Structure formats: structure tokens, C-alpha cells
Structure 1
Amino acid sequence: MELRRALVRAAVSRPGVLLAVSPGATRQRLAVEAELARRGWPCVSGPAETDLLVIVGDREDQEDQGEGEESDWLAGLWRGIPEPKARVRVTDPERAADALDSGLADLERGEHEDDHAHDAHHEHHEHHEHHEHQPDGATAPHLDHSGHDMHSGHHGHAGHDMGLVEGLPMADRADDRDGLRLDVLHMPLGPVLADWPAGLILRLALQGDIVQEVTVEPVAASPSPSPPFWDEPWLRAAGGEHISQGDAARRLCAAHLDSLGRFFAVAGWDDMAARNRFVRDRALAGATTTELTSLVRPLTRRAQRSRTLRRLTTGLGTLPAEQARQRGVTGPALVADGDTYSRLLVWLDAVGRSAAACDVTEALDAAEVVGPRGRLDTPVPPSGALLDSLPRLLEGTEFACARIIVASLDPDLDELSHVPAPGTVHSHG
């Protein structure tokens, strides 16, 4: 009993929070991350470290579909969290703080019912992720075959942890490139991983530490008429609303900073990830061009000057422009015309240019329907083309590099579930 009380006290003082984010819940995720940063509650990477599970997104999309896969993985995730534990749900960004307060109260009372969940949300607060500060320069992630980042302490959970596969991943035998018979390990990544696109599952076949085959399986989400958060200004302008160029530039700046935060976190550069997320939230909170430019410039210089980062990412996931066009890629990945490092530089450049344009009041051209990940007036949404490109980029690479390549594309699965009204710019879910 005394041990249990000590565990509860430790959890309540600074609970470790695991985020389970569904497609379509970007606005809610940003609100939760900002509130967690304000409180100083750490985000953890796996069930073993979790005190409070925060389910981000609509109930119907995650839990109430009966026997669907989403119910399975969520139930498996909850079973894997040791007591004392609590869970809450955030569906409204304006009540995120209320949800976290409810979770904290549950931990204090020691309530652990499987069906206990609260609807909630909150507006964005100034954001500063709590990570260990690291030297200037990224460090290579070292991943074992469970998706555990040995360097940064991030735990990627696949297979039995997520409830996607019963028991341990299964190994078969197959010929490697030298004609030897090696084990083939079948491993799912996602849908809940730290710094991972919400709703994405990758099923990998590994021989040794080499990815041999990749299947992309987005988690099914209910169709939504609401525009994806990051694409909203351009889609609203295309629908006839007056949107200023500054508002679009602000959303573009924040979107790329969000992607950069995820990229740096996966690369093991946690301090840079935290700084990018802080500036992201300043952009969304309405910071002036002067403030944003002063915040962005040192981040860009620091990233561009890091020889370690360049060495780690050069040559990974090369996507030539011609191949990108063939797959329908239209955004930064097409402009980069190259590898992971090239895509990073395109993001950094776009952040600087958009930060400088956040106060422009002229109307956004309704014909320029180009969001952070590409054109929004094509039959396939930009992130659909990015997902189509993933297998070729990942197959033949080392497993430790796979997550960096995914982060360098950062597909937004909110785009896949968007079903716009008739007569507006359309994409297919």
C-alpha cells in the first residue's frame, strides 16, 4: 500500500503524458502540447513510462467504432500502461486545460477504470517543450528492432505494444543480397509514436537492420468537411473567403516549424525541437513579423551550420524531382529535388520567407491553392503523394534511418479524411 501511494504521489507531482492523436486533431494536439509545456509535464514515448494517456481527437474516430482496428490499438495501448494510470480525451482545444486537470484528479484518487474518458480543450499558449538540452548539433538515433530510440530516450512502440500484432513480431526466412538465408522480421510502426504523423502505420519487413519491404496503412478516419488545419487558409480562400497573405504566411511558417520540430526530435536534437515548437506557437499566437524574424534567424543559422546534422542526413531518402513529379508530389519535397538534408533546407528557407510576410494585409490569390505540403487542387492530396513515395524511399535503407526519412516528408494525414463541399477545391480521402 505504501509503495502504491508513493507511485501515485510521484505520478501526480509531474505525470508522464502519452499522446494518442487521431487524424483531423491537429488543432487539439497543438493546444495540448502548449498546455503541457506551460505546466512542465513531460511527454513520454511509450506505455511503460506513462501516467496519463491523453487521447486527442473525436470519440467516434478513435473508440466508438466497435471492433475496428482503432479500437483494438487504443485498447492495447491502455492495457500496456502500468498502474497508477488515468486517461482523458481532448476534443475541444479550448478545454485542454480542463481535461488535464481531470486526469490529474483521477491520478490523485487512484481511479483507473478502462472506460474513464473526458471531453475537453483550449487555445494555444506560449509553447516550450521540456527536453534535455543538447550540444549544438544533432546526434544519430540508435534504434533497436522494437523502434526504441537508444540515444534520445524516445521509445517507438510497434507490434505487441500497440495491440496491432498479437505477441512478438514474427520472423520468416529469406535470401539476402549475398544469397544467405536471413531472418525476416515483420514490424509495424505506429500509429502512436513520439514525433510521428498522426494516424500513420508502416508495416516493415526487415532483414538484419535493412528495410526490405514497406506497406503504408493509414488509420481509417471518419470523413470530415472541415479543412485540414495546416491547409485551412488556402482552402478558405479558394472557397471565396477573404484571407490575407499574412494569415497564410503565418500558417505556413507555423506548419514548417511544426515539421522541423518533429524532424529535430527524431534526429535526437531535442533542444532544437523545443525551440522550433516555441516559435511555432508564437507564430500561431499572432507574433509580429519583427518578433518572428528575430526568433527564426538564429534557428536557421544554427541548423545550417551544424555539420553533424548535415552528415547524418545527407544521402538519406533521395527523391529526385522527376520521380517526385511522377508520384504527384508538388510541395517542398519536389522543390528540394534531393535527399533528407535538401528537404530540411527548403523548410528552413520557407520559414524565413513566410515569417517576413506575416503582416502583409493584401488578399491571398484564390488561384494559389498551395499549402505547406503542396497543391490542394489536385485529385490526390499532397500528403497522399508523399505517402505513395515512402516505400521506395525506405526500402533498402537502414532501419535507424527510416524515421528520419519519414520526418523529412512529414505527411499530414488530416488531408486524407477531408471531404470538401461540392464545388470547392477537392481532394480524395
Structure 2
Amino acid sequence: MAVRSPVALPVVLPGATEPRLGVEAELRRRGWETAEAPAAADLLVVCGSPSPEEDRRLDTLLRTMSRPAARVDVTRPADAARALDEGFAVLRAGAASRSASPEGHENAVGGEHEAHPGKGSASAGPGHGPHHEHEEPGHPGHDETGGHGHSGHEGHTMSTVAGLPMADRAADRDGLSLDRLNLPLGPVLPDWPAGLILRCALQGDIVQEVRVDRLPGPPDGTSFWNEPWSRAARGEPVERGVAARRRCAAHLDSLGRLLSLAGRSDTAGRLRRLRDDVLAGAPSGHCGEPLRALTERVERSRTLRWGLAGLGRLPAERARRRGVTGPALEADGDAHDRLLSWSREARRAVRDLDDRRPLPTGRLIGPRGTVGGTVPPSQALLDVLPELLTGTELGCARLVVASLDPDLDEPVAVPATEDAHA
């Protein structure tokens, strides 16, 4: 009964936007739930092609999940259905073995690495036997959120108990000496930018310091969302409707992340279905009215305004000084203002889905800002994150990140540090 409807934990690697979209659409079609944390999941769905080091860490993450558990890898959207079928079959076999085995879960399929089916375009790599090097959950090299325990080890003085980092003392804003805990957010979090790691220093539930880190990105630095404008910057002919379709879908994707974290999962799901329709080539007449009705309802919501107002305030003047362009600059305000900006831009873009005229080759403005310049638009968003998050409550930090939604598939960089590793 436990695996009749698996609970999936999607893990999105940098450069895997298209596989993620395919997995999300297939999970929604099947009605399978997604987990908020590894402990609540039984199917680890890896979107993208992990490096050997990432593969090892994903196996460690798999071992934190309840048994039976399975892992599948998806590298192409078309492979999502087959990969989920394979994972479901492994879970059912594991459940049957557990119920029949007198020794319990240790001998069950899906117990150690048997849950990790053969690697291909749709599924994960060959089973790693007992000889595979283990790092148990809670080891200083790992943490429950998918980051790494080395984060924030200022001088590596933090003490540990049973492998878990303990709080140190540091002065707060009032000069008092309070406990200070270093906690990484990401990279394995629902509705989180792929590859992003925020290394936070907390006092109580207040973020005192933030350092941006990331998993290694794709070597070519190609962003799925910026693709039409990148082609136009290279001199290739691109239709306005193609760019409008990608812009509309990108904003609906960002809205879905923010609304999901804000407790509006039903509305987020409807916007994501529209996003998939737009990307699939649905005409403007099919998408326009549902999009208008949904986004206007979002814009009128008093509870959303109350929950997001004042978070991550970024006035236009300050944004311009920091090199921010696109919706975050035009919003001229807080997380709720950025939500409104995405909503209105999506409605404008949906009107141009069928426009066959060529895209103007002047200043190219993609979903997150100016494309083809010296600085990727998401670089400015990453650079401004620490100052927006410092002083906020931890519960609000993810909402602020989602309201900016930086795209780490762009060729962005973070400051190099001795403990910044993936």
C-alpha cells in the first residue's frame, strides 16, 4: 500500500531545465506527490547528468530515504515516463521482498543500492555494491538539505557532536553574544534554483550572513530560458512569437515556484500546466483567457500581498546600481511587486505567441534581463541576494530567493573560497 502512489523527490542539476519540465509534467499527469525532504520520499528522481562526485553524493542522499527506495536519472524530457515506470517497478519489487523476507529490510530489493537501476538516458547508474565508499548522513561532508557540512566553517573551529555541527558564539546586531549556527540551504530543495547553495549564518531564526555558492554548471553555460535571445544575439533569425512563448513560460515557471512556497500549490499547479501548454505550442487563443483569469486572481489576493509585502525590498535605483535588469528592476519593490511584474509580463507575452515577425536585434531583454551583454542577468540577481537576505527570518529567505529566481544555467560565477565545493 505504501508504494501504490510513490512520493518523488526531484533533484535538479544545473543545465537540466528541460528534463525537469518533463518530470514535473509526468508527475502531475500521474498524480504522484512530491516530497519536501528526503525522509518523506521513496523515489529519488535526478534531472540531469551528474558528475562522479555528484553521483556519490546522490547515493548518500538515497541512503537517508526510508526503504524501499529507488533512484532514477532523467536526461531528456521524453524519458521521464519510462524512468518513473522503472522506479515504480523497483519500489513494488522492494515492497514485496520486504514483506516476504524474514530478515526484514536489509535483504529487500531497494535496501542498499539495489534500488538504483541500470543507468541510461532515463535511469540511474549501475548498482553500487557494498564496496562503494560510504559517507553516512550527518557526516561533516553532508547535510540534510543537500548542502555540505563544511559550509560556514570559519577557520574550521565549529565543534561537532555525532558529526552534526553545533552552534558557536558571535555578537549579534545589538552587541550581545548569542549562538550562531551555520546552515546551508540547497542545492536539494523543492522550488529552488538548480545548483544554488546559500551558506547562511543564523542567530535564532535570523539570517546574519549569507554567502552564495553553487554546483558546477554546464560547460557551455547554455540557459534554456534565454535560448531565443542568445540565438538572436548570434545573428540567427528568431520569430517574435518564439521569444514570447519562452518568456511567458519562464514567468509562469517562476510564478509557480513562488506561489508553491507561499502555500498556493493549487494555483501553482494550474500555472505550470499553462506553462507546459505554452511550451508545447498551444495558440494564443487557447492560453490567453485561462492565464488572464489565474493571474488576475493572484494579483487580487490579499493574503499573498500580506505574506510577501516587505520581503526582499529592492528599489529600482538600488537595483540599477547593482546591475539588475528585467522584471526585478521594473518591479521597483519587494517580493510581491516582483510577483506582480511576472504576472503582467506573462499576460503581455501570451498575446504575441503567434507573431511570425522577426525579433528585433537591438537590446535583447530575456525573462531575467538583458541577454548578450558582458554580465548575465542572473549574475546581478545572485550578487544582490546576500544583502536582501541578511536580517530576514529564515522562513522568509526561500520566498525572497523565489521572488528573484536566478537562473544558474547562465554563465554566472560566485566568489571562490577554500570550502566552496560541490
Match of 2:209 in 1: 213
TM-score, reference length from structure 2: 0.83
Task: Give the number of the structure whose alpha-carbon radius of gyration is greater.
Answer: 2
Match of 1:64 in 2: 52
Conserved 8 A contact 1:387-1:411: yes
Q: CA deviation at 1:106?
A: 1.3
Q: CA deviation at 1:360?
A: 0.8
Q: How do 1:243-254 and structure 2 match up within 5 A?
A: 243-254=238-249
Q: How do 1:20-419 and structure 2 match up within 5 A?
A: 20-58=11-49, 62-65=50-53, 70-71=54-55, 73-110=57-94, 111-112=109-110, 114=113, 116-120=117-121, 159-162=143-146, 164-165=148-149, 167-224=163-220, 227-416=222-411
2:119 and 2:214 map into 1 onto residues whose CA distance is 26
How has the CA–CA distance of structure 1 residues 417 and 117 changed in structure 2, closer, same or farther, with 3 Å as cutoff?
Answer: farther
Local SS of the residue matching 1:162: coil
Matched residue type, 1:116: P
2:248 and 2:176 map into 1 onto residues whose CA distance is 49
Q: CA deviation at 1:121?
A: 5.5
2:81 and 2:143 map into 1 onto residues whose CA distance is 32
Q: CA deviation at 1:390?
A: 0.2
Conserved 8 A contact 2:233-2:372: no
Local SS of the residue matching 2:33: coil
Local SS of the residue matching 1:108: helix
RMSD of aligned alpha carbons: 1.9
Aligned residues, how many? Answer: 366
Matched residue type, 1:95: D
Local SS of the residue matching 1:229: coil
1:73 and 1:163 map into 2 onto residues whose CA distance is 10
Matched residue type, 2:47: V
Conserved 8 A contact 2:147-2:188: no
Local SS of the residue matching 1:415: coil
Moved over 4 A (4+): none
Give the gaps of 5 or more residues in structure 2: 95-108, 124-141, 151-162, 414-422
Q: CA deviation at 1:72?
A: 5.4
Matched residue type, 1:64: P
Conserved 8 A contact 2:284-2:353: yes
1:410 and 1:352 map into 2 onto residues whose CA distance is 19
Q: CA deviation at 1:240?
A: 2.6
2:369 and 2:56 map into 1 onto residues whose CA distance is 33
Residue 6 of structure 2 corresponds to residue 10 of structure 1: no
1:71 and 1:370 map into 2 onto residues whose CA distance is 36
Conserved 8 A contact 1:231-1:371: yes
2:63 and 2:411 map into 1 onto residues whose CA distance is 29
TM-score, reference length from structure 1: 0.81
User: CA offsets per residue over residues 354-412 of structure 1, 9 Å max, x none?
Assistant: 01111111011123422100111222211111000000000011111111100000011
1:106 and 1:19 map into 2 onto residues whose CA distance is 17
Select the structure with the greater relative contact order (CA < 8 A; seq sep ≥ 6): 1
Q: CA deviation at 1:161?
A: 4.9
Identity of aligned residues (%): 54
Matched residue type, 2:309: T
Q: Does 187-196 or 377-386 show the bigger shift?
A: 377-386
